[in-house]
Amino acid sequence: MLVVSFFLLISLALFAQQKPNIIYIYADDLGYGELGCYGQTKIKTPNLDKLAASGMKFTQHYTGAPVCAPARAILMTGKHSGHSYIRGNYELGQHDDANEGGQMPLHEGAITVAKVMKQAGYTTGAIGKWGLGMANSTGDPNKQGFDYFYGYLDQKQAHNLYPSHFWENGKWDTLRNRPFTGHQRIPESSPDSVFDSFTGKDYALTKLGDKTIDFLKRNRSRPFFLYLPYTSPHLALQAPPEAVKEYVGMFPDKPYYGEKGYTPTKYPLATYAAMITYLDRQVGRVMAMLKELGLDKNTIIMFSSDNGPTFDVGGVDAKFFNSAAGMRGLKQDLYEGGIREPFIVSWPGKVKAGSVSQHISAQYDLLATLADIVQVKAPATDGISFLPAIMGKPQTAHEYLYFEFPEKSGQVAVRMGKWKGVRSNLKTNPNAPWEIFDLENDPSESRDLAANHPELAKRFTEIVNKEHSCPHLREWEFIDPKFRKNQ
């Protein structure tokens, strides 16, 4: 019995050494151009720049949807937006604590990244913003493969970065902040004390960072998959005062009084920059703790964002920061600025430092990729493993990437090689024409070449007809005419 136990311990130890830990960090509304390593000049991101320098930077990586909930569902399940169970920000409940209801929950039996990682023997954790169902629903993260969850369950609660509470494995965790809504307007004559009232003692990213460090310490001796959907720089504009001070005076700031939603702030530009730098600081904490625990050489870190930068609400100014790196569109758009994302992969000794990949990929590739890395059979998804790309080996290319988005105006898009097709306003005009762009020569999507390429328009239509499946909500059907007749 002792001999068997000894060999069992040795086997477990070898398993822990061979299987890499995997951390996936997911920013919230961070644009393609908002990191130094992607060309940002006004906002400091030294840790993420260091991470990119130590690994690989992707230049043509896409989210699955241009807003929070569907992007997260697509990331977790590997299904593109024509097949995903969640296709929009379908809100339940209200913003206040008493009526917290979350979003449309993931269905029971969904195959998620976390479930696949557990199958491979990993401990799984998620710390940050979930947005795929409350604890009393089928979307509860603890029912979707995560051993541990801490953070926001309801996206609406995340509109306030000094929340009254977080959720920890289905239980309410009271924070040291007074309850207040993340959407308020104040008079233009308001003194500093009114602006200062939209703070508290527990800043969301600090608390999430603390729980991340705890998770790393607790699980240092076994392989883990840790999903970190941190909440910056999503509105409201809130950051610790000491972080904002680093930028005060650097930009032509004018107070924001809440006239376009979300909380007021005296220094909107400085606060926005501070939110991204503070997010970067949390990434640095993770990197430092991995090194302290001796885990840095055997841990893969991936970093991306759920969608493009926020449009003109809440005091943000995407144009000032060149947040979309000159690309067309913002959050809620299927143009490049709304869906092309930064993506960094660091894996010491495996991924070449300072490398750049132009492989056209999407976040619905993640599940297939992680299954490839940990050597388990991947479930059927719409993704293709990009493990060969990060290892510098020949990579299978997507024939095309497919996107649809039922909210806003109803949009579809197809990326096929250098070509991109976009159709907009389909809810009001089901026969809206294709716009067609040559991204190789026109990454800003400024020249519509549809008149010159009717064959591409025909092919894109064939792809939509093939990839679109009827959603389970009537509100999300805007493509198939037989289901739209009575809307």
- CATH code of 35's domain: 3.40.720.10
Position 232, amino acid: S
Domain termination site, one of 390, 418, 437 = 390
Q: In which band, very low, low, confident or very high, does the pLDDT at 152 lie, cut at 50, 70 and 90?
A: very high
Smallest CA-to-CA distance from 236 within 261, 255, 259 is with: 261
pTM of the model: 0.95
Question: 220-251, pLDDT tens digit by residue?
Answer: 999 999 999 999 999 999 999 999 999 999 99
Which pLDDT score, from 0 to 100, does residue 483 have?
A: 73
Residue 119 pLDDT > 70, yes or no? Answer: yes
Q: Span 102-121, mean pLDDT?
A: 97
Which pLDDT score, from 0 to 100, does residue 85 have?
A: 98
In a domain, 158, yes or no: yes
The total number of structural domains in the chain stands at: 2
54 and 84 co-located in one domain? yes
Q: Span 145-162, mean pLDDT?
A: 98
In a domain, 123, yes or no: yes
Domain termination site, one of 333, 357, 390 = 390
Q: Span 436-444, mean pLDDT?
A: 98
For the chain, give the percent of residues with pLDDT over 90.
Answer: 94
Strands 355-357 and 401-405: unpaired
Question: 272-329, pLDDT tens digit by residue?
Answer: 999 999 999 999 999 999 999 999 999 999 999 999 999 999 999 999 999 999 999 9
Write out the E strands in 76-122: 91-93, 100-103
In a domain, 14, yes or no: no
373 and 411 co-located in one domain? no
DSSP 8-state assignment for residue 335:
S
465 and 382 co-located in one domain? no
Which pLDDT score, from 0 to 100, does residue 212 have?
A: 99
- CATH code of 434's domain: 3.30.1120.10
In a domain, 191, yes or no: yes
473 and 338 co-located in one domain? no
Q: How far apart are CA 343 and CA 284, in angstroms?
A: 17
Q: In which band, very low, low, confident or very high, does the pLDDT at 482 lie, cut at 50, 70 and 90?
A: confident
Domain termination site, one of 390, 417, 443 = 390
Could you tell me if 52 and 37 are in contact, meaning their C-beta atoms sit under 8 angstroms apart?
yes
101 and 184 co-located in one domain? yes
Which pLDDT score, from 0 to 100, does residue 353 have?
A: 98
361 and 460 co-located in one domain? no
Which pLDDT score, from 0 to 100, does residue 17 have?
A: 55
In a domain, 203, yes or no: yes
Q: How far apart are CA 22 and CA 15, in angstroms?
A: 14
Which pLDDT score, from 0 to 100, does residue 417 have?
A: 98
Q: Span 390-411, mean pLDDT?
A: 97
Q: Span 153-164, mean pLDDT?
A: 98
Smallest CA-to-CA distance from 300 within 231, 372, 232, 361 is with: 372
Q: What's phi and psi for 43, nearest 5 deg?
A: -115, 135
Question: 6-58, pLDDT tens digit by residue?
Answer: 444 444 444 445 799 999 999 999 999 999 999 999 999 999 999 999 999 99
Domain that includes residue 132, residue range: 21-390
Mean pLDDT of the chain: 95
Which pLDDT score, from 0 to 100, does residue 484 have?
A: 62
302 and 374 co-located in one domain? yes
Residue 134 pLDDT > 50, yes or no? Answer: yes
For tokens 């995997």, name the residue. Answer: 22
Half-sphere exposure of 379 (CA within 13 A, CB side): 19
In a domain, 346, yes or no: yes
Q: In which band, very low, low, confident or very high, does the pLDDT at 485 lie, cut at 50, 70 and 90?
A: low
373 and 416 co-located in one domain? no
Half-sphere exposure of 108 (CA within 13 A, CB side): 4
In a domain, 140, yes or no: yes
Residue 4 pLDDT > 60, yes or no? Answer: no
Q: In which band, very low, low, confident or very high, does the pLDDT at 208 lie, cut at 50, 70 and 90?
A: very high
383 and 405 co-located in one domain? no
In a domain, 2, yes or no: no
